[in-house]
Chains A and B, each alone.
Chain A
Amino acid sequence: MLSTDLRDNILVVRVEEKRIDASKAPAFKDEMTRCIDSGQNQIVLDLSYVDFVDSSGLGALVSCLKRLGPRGSLAVAGATGAVSRLFTLTRMDRVFVLHPNVDAAVEQLSA
């Protein structure tokens, strides 16, 4: 469900699913954990393809952030519509750094 791409030593992870809900969240969390455990500190999560994230999906995102810890950063790119509203409603826009697109996120992180 994820595709990865290394740009300027930054791992860009693209979610290839329309939804991250209770049925997809465990798999999403596992794959993300593998990416983080492989030693990547700087990760951009591309959510431009995702239409909907539910509470389980949000929990998985936060647990990824916690796993990455203070040594790394997890930027979110391309969150729009319901996803963006969820980030606002739950104040996650203050926890994750949000970017309109991947390029902006990569540029920001590599700077």
Chain B
Amino acid sequence: MKIRHILLILTAFLGVALLVAVALQIRDELREYQTAKRMAASNTVREQLLLGTDALESERSQTYVRLIGQGKEAGALELREVRRQVDDLLNTAEREIVAAGGGLTNTDRSLATLSRIHREIETLREQADGFLRPADGMRSEEFAPRWFQEATRLVGELQSSRMTILQQERPLDPVLRTEANLRAFAAILSESIARNQALMSRALASPSSVGSLEIDAISQNAGRAELAWELIDGQLTVPLSESVRESVARTHENYSTTFAPLQKSMLAALLGKVPPSLGPEEWYGLTEMALGNIALMQRELLRSSRERLEAELSRARRSVALWSVLLLLGAAAVLVSILVVRRRVVRPLEGLSHAMLRLADNDLETPLPRSSRGDEIGEMNDALRVFKANAIQRQRTQNEKQVLHARLREAYGQLQKDLEAAAVIQRTMLPPSSRLDGVEYHGLFRPSSHIAGDTYNVVRRTDGSVGFFQVDVAGHGAAAALVSVACHHTLSQAILTRTQGTPLEEIAVQINEEWPEDLPYFTMILGEIDPRSRRASIIQAGHPSPLVIRSDGAVEVIGEGGFPVGMLPAASYDRLEFDLDPGDRLFIYSDGLVEAEGQDGEQFSEGRLRTLVREAAADPSSVLLGRLDDVLRNWRGSETLDDDLSVLMLERLAERIPANAVH
């Protein structure tokens, strides 16, 4: 995996992790928001049900009072009004349940219960209306207890359906819980007072006919109200809002100071069969006031809960919005990070890596990524630029070297060709094995490179004598070879043009005197064989002493030395004369022969040469030279030589005396 991929994956991974974390938080916030919404919906439904219950209680009391004949005709309008309220509130509750949709649990059952209660209320009302017609004046009073009983049952059912909804969506907030409890207890309180509103009204209408059962019921209701107040007071430990607290305190104060003592005195009057101080209508009005106070308290509680829930709902909504914005920002940050990493790191890295690979492949034409950045990428880019410049420079140098090399090779080839041509020419200058007037000669010629500083020649003079020479120019190679050509020419001419009677040493002296000082000197054997006598003569000019191989196999060394030619202008030379009988051979060699070094650095030496010549004395000259060549190659251990090597062998043949010698 490449670095750029790792970077991108890491960035994307971090981004996704961040987004997931934020998304989880949003899910939690949404859940809280849903809960708050459900709580709010539940609260609204319960509020409507509570108000509806209150209204139904009021309807019960009004209808009851009319049934027992205490209601006024004008009360018919109020009754319609309170019925309309009950209907409105129950309808509103149903609408709220439907509006909450799936937000509330068991909505279908709640709706079914409500509509059933509503239907039963309608039925009960129709029955009550039937008894309230003027014709049925007497029978209506008989129906009153049943009305009260049925209406109370329906009030109870409404309350229990409200409690069911509360149980299903129980708020977790302690204040909300307490307020819900307070509302429930206040509802009990309200119901107790409302029952007594009806029951006491009837009792006060005909105090004498009040039974103990009725008094018990009234007393029970009064007790329930007291109990409800105790429960309400018990809830006040929780920190409720100031307005709720005040409202509860005021209502309780009002109840304890006005309604409770009044109800007590009425009960006492009824028990004591004393005519009560109040009539049923006055009681009804006073109860209505007490109920009104409690309803005010209920409204305060409802308002407080509603506000709390609304606050919670808007908090949850804000929270969801905040986290959503964070999610968007996070997503944008991730996107920007990926884009920045891609643009500032990944792309430049790709460019660099591509360019590096191309450069490594020796593609010097490849363009480098443009960059004027001061960071590491910029530094790498600069370094790459230097690498490329160096590579181009190196390639240029390499190319130049190759061109130079090719030129050198060409020049060398040309030189080689020239040298080879020169070598061919030099060899053609040397006389091939042959015989001249009773003298047979053979040569061995091995240059250390193509051309040699050695040379030799055999020429016949017009007077019949045979002249010969062997030359070794100091040094070797082309310069020595050129000088050797000059020597070859000079000596050949000197032999041919020598005036008869001029001694050989004169030739040597003359050439030595005239030899240019700038040229290298040379050593030589210059000699002459007179076919008419058995004598031969030589000039030894710094050259190794030649050998004479007698026909009987004896080997002699001729001469002890002499000045080389071209070294000292004043040098003098001696002529050596010796017998060369038929079958005798003269063996002339250059120092390259005896100084040839073996692999251990030892020279071949004159001693070895003499031994070899002695052993091969019986062989013909060509065979002897061939053998010498083989021995030398073996001695060297290679085909090369450090110095030029040449041998010239001349043999006096056993021939008849030429015809012109007879004279």
Contact = CB atoms under 8 A, between A and B. Distances in A.
User: Are A and B part of the same complex?
Assistant: yes
The SS class assigned to the B binding surface is loop
B563 interface: yes
A6 interface: no
Contacts, number: 48
A80 interface: no
Interface stretch (A37-45, A56-64, A68-76, A97-105): A56-64
A3 to B, nearest CB: 23
B476 A22 contact: yes
Highest count of chain B CB atoms <10 Å: which of A55, A62, A91: A55
A91 B520 CA distance: 17
B171 interface: no
A58 B603 CA distance: 18
Nearest to B543: A89
B562 A91 contact: yes
B523 interface: yes
Interface in B551-607: 560-564, 567-568, 571, 591, 595, 603
Given A62-B568, A89-B542, A90-B563, A82 B472 contact: no
A55 B561 contact: no
Contacts of B568: 62, 95
B59 interface: no
The SS class assigned to the A binding surface is helix
Contacts of A90: 523, 542, 561-564, 567
Given A22-B476, A88-B561, A89-B542, A54 B567 contact: no
Contact of B475 (A22, A52, A82, A91): A22
Given A55-B474, A59-B520, A82 B542 contact: no
B131 interface: no
A108 B472 CA distance: 35
Interface residues of A, number: 14
Nearest to A19: B601
B603 A59 contact: no
Contacts of B469: none
A54 B542 contact: no
B531 interface: no
B115 to A, nearest CB: 132
B472 A55 contact: yes
B474 A89 contact: no
B607 to A, nearest CB: 12
Given A90-B523, A90-B542, A95-B568, A55 B475 contact: yes
Contacts of A59: 474-475, 520-521, 567
Given A55-B523, A55-B591, A62-B568, A91 B563 contact: yes
A53 to B, nearest CB: 10
Contacts of A22: 475-476
A56 B475 CA distance: 5
A56 B591 CA distance: 12
Contact of B544 (A52, A56, A89): A89
Given A89-B542, A90-B523, A90-B542, A58 B561 contact: no
Given A90-B523, A90-B561, 6 more contacts: A82-B603, A88-B560, A89-B542, A89-B544, A91-B562, A95-B568
In the A-B complex, the 5 residue pairs with the closest CB atoms:
A55-B474, A89-B561, A90-B542, A91-B563, A59-B474
11 contacts: A22-B475, A55-B472, A58-B474, A59-B567, A62-B568, A82-B603, A89-B560, A90-B542, A90-B561, A91-B571, A95-B568
